[in-house]
Amino acid sequence: MKALLIDTIRCTGCRSCQVACKEWNELPAEETSFFGGPGYQNPKDLSKNTWNLITFNEVKLNGRLKWIFGKKQCMHCLEPGCVSACPVGALEKTADGPVIYHKNICIGCRYCMLACPFQIPRFDFDSPNPYITKCRLCHDRQEMGEIPACAKACPTGAITFGEREDMVREAQRRIAENPDKYHHKVYGLEEAGGTCVLHISSVPFEEIGYITDIPNEPVCANVKPAMKAIPAVMLGAALILGASYKFRNRTRDEEPAAHG
């Protein structure tokens, strides 16, 4: 299973990855406008044309205001909520790690968006034939033996790509070697059961706009038992109804009404 490691300390906010993502996936530029909030960030949010976004966060560090850059994209969860949610299998977790989207069978129900704890999938509310859009970890490039476009484009080594275990080890090594520089947490190691995109940072992740109140168990943890119960409920209901029918049979004979 492959994974990305994002080291926000090494990121300079050059957005090469953002551009590389657009280029590889042939996504048009966005019409942008000024918005209140983080000054130089552009565009404001992920969208159908922006699958990878460098976020600009002003954070107070050791008494000084600093830019800390975050990377917003699909986390490629190990047990993705979006995949468990989708009623038609339009979203698929591949063996190599990427969570990919088969657009032609999607019905547009948006359950994947609700189920995603990281609020990643985007839906095109302005089109009569809307699709879901999100990062696919350059699944197509990986099949050709290439690494994801963002990892390839990064000039500072802030994005590393490799086996997930190696990336986890690398993240922990960097934190252990520089315990004062890093916040002691690998984001994505446990969130929602673990993800294939790992982040490390100098400050707690809520300070750079990451969603941090995500349970560590997979999103589908509560759903699985409910779905498993279905055949048992069917059997139980059939037995109870059958027995009630027999038991109440007698009153039926006394006064049957005319029709069904």
Partner 1 sequence: MSTEVKGRFGFGSFILFVLTVLGIVLALYRFATGIGSVANLNQGYPWGFWIGFDILAGIALAGGGFVIAAVVHIFGSEKYHALVRPAILTAFLGYLMFITGLLVDIGRPWMIWSMMINWQHESPMFEVGWCVMLYTTVLLFEFLPVVFEKYKMAGALKIWMNIMPLVAIVMLVFFAWLLSRSTQWTVVIAAVLVIFELAIRGGVLKRDPRVPTLLIMAGIIFSTLHQSSLGSLFLMVPHKLSMIWFSPILPVLFFISAVMAGMAMLIVESTLSSKFFRRGLELNILQGIGKGLSWVILIYLAVRVVDLAYRRVGSELLATSPQAVAFWIEIVIGLLIPLALLLTPQGVASGRGLFWAAIFVVIGLVVNRINVAVTGISGGSYPTYYPHWMEVAISVGIVSLGILAFLLICRNFPIFEKEHSHAASA
Q: Please write down the long-range contacts of 166-175, taking CB distance under 8 Å and 24 or more positions apart.
A: 167/3, 167/4, 167/5, 167/198, 168/3, 168/198, 170/5, 171/5, 171/7, 171/198, 171/200, 174/7, 174/200, 175/200
Smallest distance, partner 1 to C-beta of residue 196, A: 19
Q: Which residue has the tokens 């995949």?
A: 83
Smallest distance, partner 1 to C-beta of residue 56, A: 15
Instruction: Count the site residues for partner 1 by CB under 8 A.
Output: 70
Residue from 5, 106, 158, 186 binding ligand SF4 (CB under 6 A): 106
Q: Select from ligand SF4, partner 1, none the partner in contact with residue 63, using the beta carbon and a kind-dependent cut-off of 5 to 8 Å.
A: none
Q: Are 209 and 55 in contact (CB under 8 A)?
A: yes
| Residue 248 CB neighbour total at 10 angstroms | 9
Q: Burial of 82 by CB count in 10 Å (0-12 exposed, 13-18 middle, 19+ buried)?
A: buried
Contact between 260 and partner 1 by CB under 8 A: the answer reads yes
**215, amino acid identity:** P
What is the full DSSP assignment across 140-184?
HHHHTTPPPHHHHH-SSS-EEEEEHHHHHHHHHHHHHH-TTTS-S
The three-point CA angle 224-4-114 to 5° equals: 35
Smallest distance, partner 1 to C-beta of residue 136, A: 18
Contact between 78 and ligand SF4 by CB under 6 A: the answer reads no
SS3 3: strand
Q: Select from partner 1, ligand SF4, none the partner in contact with residue 80, using the beta carbon and a kind-dependent cut-off of 5 to 8 Å.
A: ligand SF4
Q: Select from ligand SF4, partner 1, none the partner in contact with residue 241, using the beta carbon and a kind-dependent cut-off of 5 to 8 Å.
A: partner 1
- Letters for 34-73 (x = contact with partner 1 by CB under 8 A, - = none) are -----------xx---------------------------
**Residue ranges in contact with partner 1 by CB under 8 A:** 45-46, 81, 84-90, 105-111, 113-115, 117, 119, 122-131, 192, 209, 211, 213-215, 219-220, 222-227, 230-231, 233-235, 237-239, 241-242, 244-246, 248-249, 251-253, 255-260
**Residue ranges in contact with ligand SF4 by CB under 6 A:** 74-77, 80-82, 85-88, 90-91, 99, 106-112, 116, 118, 120-121, 132, 134
